[in-house]
Structure 1
Amino acid sequence: MSSFKRDKKEEEDSGGNPYQNLDKTIVLQEARYFNQTPVNPRKCCLILSKVLYLLNQGEKFTTQEATEAFFATTKLFQSKDVMLRRMVYLCIKELSTLAQDVIIVTSSLTKDMTGKEDLYRAAAIRALCSITDSTMLQAIERYMKQAIVDKNPAVSSAALVSALHLSSTAPDLVRRWANEAQEAISSDNPMVSYHALGVVAGSRKNDKLSTVKLVTRLARSPLKSPYALCLLIRLAAQLVEDDDSEASQPYIEFIECCLRHKSEMVIYEAAHAIVNLRKTARDLAPAVSVLQLFCGSSKASLRLAGARTLARLTAKHPTAVAACAVDLENLISDPNRSVATLAVTTLLATGAESSVDRLMKQISSFVSEISDEFKIVVVRAIRRLCTKFPRKHQSLAAFLAGMLRDEGGLEYKAAIADAIIALVEENPDAKETGLAHLCEFIEDCEHTALAVRILHLLGREGPKSRQPSRYIRFIYNRVILESGPVRAAAVSAVAQFGAQRPELLPNISVLLSRCQLDDEDEVRDRAIYFSAILETGDQQLINDYIINVSKPNPVLLEKALRDHIATRPEEPFDINAVPTEEEPKENKEAIVEIEVRKPVQVSMEEMYAEQLSKIAGIERLGPVFKTNNPVDLTEAETEYRVRLIKHIFGRHVVLQFECVNTLSDQVLEDVHVRLECPPEYEVKSITPCQKLVYDKPDSVFVIVEYPSAFLDSLGTFGASLEFTVRDCDPNTGVPDPGEGYADNYPLEEFEMGCADQIRARAATDDWEQTWERAANAPEASDTFILSQNDINDAAKAVCEHLGLPKNAIIGEAVKEIRGGGIFRGGAPVLVRARLAGGSAGITMKLASRSPREDIAQLLLAAVG
Structure 2
Amino acid sequence: MLALFLKRGHGGGSNPFQHLEKSAVLQEARVFNETPINPRKCAHILTKILYLINQGEHLGVMEATESFFAMTKLFQSNDPTLRRMCYLTIKEMSSIAEDVIIVTSSLTKDMTGKDDNYRGPAVRALCQITDSTMLQAIERYMKQAIVDKVPSVSSSALVSSLHLLKTSYDVVKRWVNEAQEAASSDNIMVQYHALGLLYHVRKNDRLAVNKMLSKFTRHGLKSPFAYCMMIRVASKLLEEEAGQLLLSLKISMQLLLCSYEGCFRAISTLPSLIATLAITTLLKTGSESSIDRLMKQISSFMSEISDEFKVVVVQAINALCQKYPRKHAVLMNFLFTMLREEGGFEYKRAIVDCIISIIEENSESKETGLSHLCEFIEDCEFTVLATRILHLLGQEGPKTNNPSKYIRFIYNRVVLEHEEVRAGAVSALAKFGAQNEEMLPSILVLLKRCVMDDDNEVRDRATFYLNVLEQKQKALNAGYILNGLTVSIPGLERALHQYTLEPSEKPFDLKSVPLATAPNAPVAVVKQPEKVAATRQEIFQEQLGAIPEFRGLGPLFKSSPEPVALTELETEYVVRCTKHTFVSHMVFQFDCTNTLNDQILENVTVQMEPTEGYEVIGYIPAKTLVYNQPGTCYTLVALSEEDPTAVACTFSCMMKFTVKDCDPNTGETDDEGYEDEYVLEDLEVTVADHIQRVLKPNFGAAWDEVGDEYEKEETFTLSAIKTLEGEGVSELLTFLLAPFRSLTGRLLGQSCSYCDNKLAQASKTQKSIPSPMGTRLDCGRQESILHSTVSGRQTFPEAFQIPPEDLCLLQDVSFLVHPP
TM-score clears 0.5: yes
Q: Deviations over 1:536-588 (max 9, x none)?
A: 22234323432344532212334455677869974773549732242484369
The 5 A counterparts of 1:41-440 are 71=23, 88-92=52-56, 95-96=58-59, 101-106=63-68, 127-133=92-98, 135-139=99-103, 170-176=131-137, 196-197=161-162, 199-200=164-165, 202-205=167-170, 231-232=200-201, 235-236=204-205, 286=241, 288-289=243-244, 292=246, 345=280, 348-353=283-288, 354=290, 356-357=294-295, 360=298, 364=302, 367-368=305-306, 379-390=314-325, 391=327, 392-394=330-332, 396-398=334-336, 401=339, 405-407=342-344, 415-428=350-363, 430-432=365-367, 434-435=369-370, 438=373
Structure 1 position 493 matched with structure 2 position 420: no
Measured after TM superposition, the shift of residue 159 of structure 1 is 5.5
SS in 2 for 1:729: coil
Report the equivalent of 2:516: 580
Partner AA of 2:63 in structure 1: D
Alignment match of 1:606 (pick from 538, 542, 554):
538
Distance 2:463 2:451 in 1: 6
Alignment match of 2:391 (pick from 446, 449, 456):
456
Distance 1:645 1:614 in 2: 17
Distance 1:349 1:157 in 2: 59
Measured after TM superposition, the shift of residue 637 of structure 1 is 2.0
Measured after TM superposition, the shift of residue 723 of structure 1 is 1.0
Partner AA of 1:714 in structure 2: A
Measured after TM superposition, the shift of residue 670 of structure 1 is 0.6
Measured after TM superposition, the shift of residue 127 of structure 1 is 3.6
The 5 A counterparts of 1:463-612 are 463-465=398-400, 468-469=403-404, 471-472=406-407, 475-476=410-411, 479=414, 486-518=421-453, 521-549=456-484, 551-560=486-495, 570=506, 573-575=509-511, 578-583=514-519, 585-586=521-522, 603-612=535-544
Distance 1:158 1:334 in 2: 60
Structure 1 position 692 matched with structure 2 position 625: yes
Measured after TM superposition, the shift of residue 477 of structure 1 is 5.5
Query: Contact between 2:486 and 2:695, CA under 8 Å: does it hold in 1?
Result: no
TM-score by length of 1: 0.65
Report the equivalent of 1:747: 680
Larger mean CA deviation between 456-465 and 752-761 belongs to: 456-465
Alignment match of 1:719 (pick from 636, 653, 656):
653
Query: Contact between 1:684 and 1:704, CA under 8 Å: does it hold in 2?
Result: yes
Report the equivalent of 1:858: 785
SS in 1 for 2:546: coil
Measured after TM superposition, the shift of residue 666 of structure 1 is 1.8
Measured after TM superposition, the shift of residue 181 of structure 1 is 6.6
Q: Deviations over 1:495-552 (max 9, x none)?
A: 2222234444334323323433445554433322221222222234323432344532
The 5 A counterparts of 1:789-804 are none
Report the equivalent of 1:774: 707
Report the equivalent of 1:662: 595
Distance change in 2, residues 1:346/1:471 (3 Å): same
Report the equivalent of 1:624: 556
Report the equivalent of 1:647: 580
Distance 1:203 1:645 in 2: 29
SS in 2 for 1:609: helix
Distance 1:157 1:289 in 2: 46
Measured after TM superposition, the shift of residue 112 of structure 1 is 13
Distance 2:86 2:272 in 1: 45
Report the equivalent of 1:679: 612
Query: Contact between 1:74 and 1:88, CA under 8 Å: does it hold in 2?
Result: no
Report the equivalent of 1:728: 662
Distance change in 2, residues 1:631/1:193 (3 Å): same
Measured after TM superposition, the shift of residue 675 of structure 1 is 0.8
SS in 1 for 2:637: strand
Distance 1:137 1:539 in 2: 72
Partner AA of 1:579 in structure 2: L
Distance 1:118 1:442 in 2: 78
Distance 1:367 1:83 in 2: 61
Measured after TM superposition, the shift of residue 674 of structure 1 is 0.6
Query: Contact between 1:479 and 1:490, CA under 8 Å: does it hold in 2?
Result: yes
Measured after TM superposition, the shift of residue 448 of structure 1 is 5.8
Distance change in 2, residues 1:569/1:625 (3 Å): farther
SS in 1 for 2:465: helix
Partner AA of 2:516 in structure 1: T
Q: Deviations over 1:613-669 (max 9, x none)?
A: 332143322211111122212223222121221111111111111212222222211
SS in 2 for 1:202: coil
Distance change in 2, residues 1:430/1:126 (3 Å): farther
Larger mean CA deviation between 226-235 and 542-551 belongs to: 226-235
Measured after TM superposition, the shift of residue 435 of structure 1 is 4.1
Q: Deviations over 1:85-115 (max 9, x none)?
A: 887324547x34x775333443799899998
Distance change in 2, residues 1:198/1:104 (3 Å): closer
Q: Deviations over 1:733-771 (max 9, x none)?
A: x24213222111112212222111111369977559927
SS in 2 for 1:578: coil
Measured after TM superposition, the shift of residue 605 of structure 1 is 0.8
Distance 1:807 1:191 in 2: 64
Distance 2:251 2:156 in 1: 39
Measured after TM superposition, the shift of residue 805 of structure 1 is 7.4
Structure 1 position 701 matched with structure 2 position 663: no
Partner AA of 1:605 in structure 2: Q
Q: Deviations over 1:417-474 (max 9, x none)?
A: 4333212322345445544565566678777655543432232223345664555455
Distance change in 2, residues 1:368/1:856 (3 Å): same
SS in 2 for 1:676: strand
Q: Deviations over 1:317-376 (max 9, x none)?
A: 9769869979x9999899997787667645533443427448856984775285xxx876
Query: Contact between 1:781 and 1:847, CA under 8 Å: does it hold in 2?
Result: yes
Query: Contact between 1:393 and 1:430, CA under 8 Å: does it hold in 2?
Result: no
Distance 2:416 2:517 in 1: 31
TM-score by length of 2: 0.68
Measured after TM superposition, the shift of residue 689 of structure 1 is 0.8
Query: Contact between 1:710 and 1:858, CA under 8 Å: does it hold in 2?
Result: no
Distance change in 2, residues 1:345/1:532 (3 Å): same
Measured after TM superposition, the shift of residue 854 of structure 1 is 1.0
SS in 2 for 1:138: helix
Distance 2:409 2:24 in 1: 66
Return 5+ residue gaps in structure 1 as ranges: 1-38, 49-68, 238-249, 273-285, 293-309, 815-834
Distance 1:543 1:564 in 2: 28
Partner AA of 1:489 in structure 2: G
Measured after TM superposition, the shift of residue 778 of structure 1 is 5.5
Distance 2:534 2:204 in 1: 30
Q: Compute the RMSD of aligned alpha carbons.
A: 5.9
Q: Which has the larger radius of gyration?
A: 2
Distance 2:704 2:635 in 1: 38
Distance 2:354 2:116 in 1: 58
Distance 2:122 2:344 in 1: 48
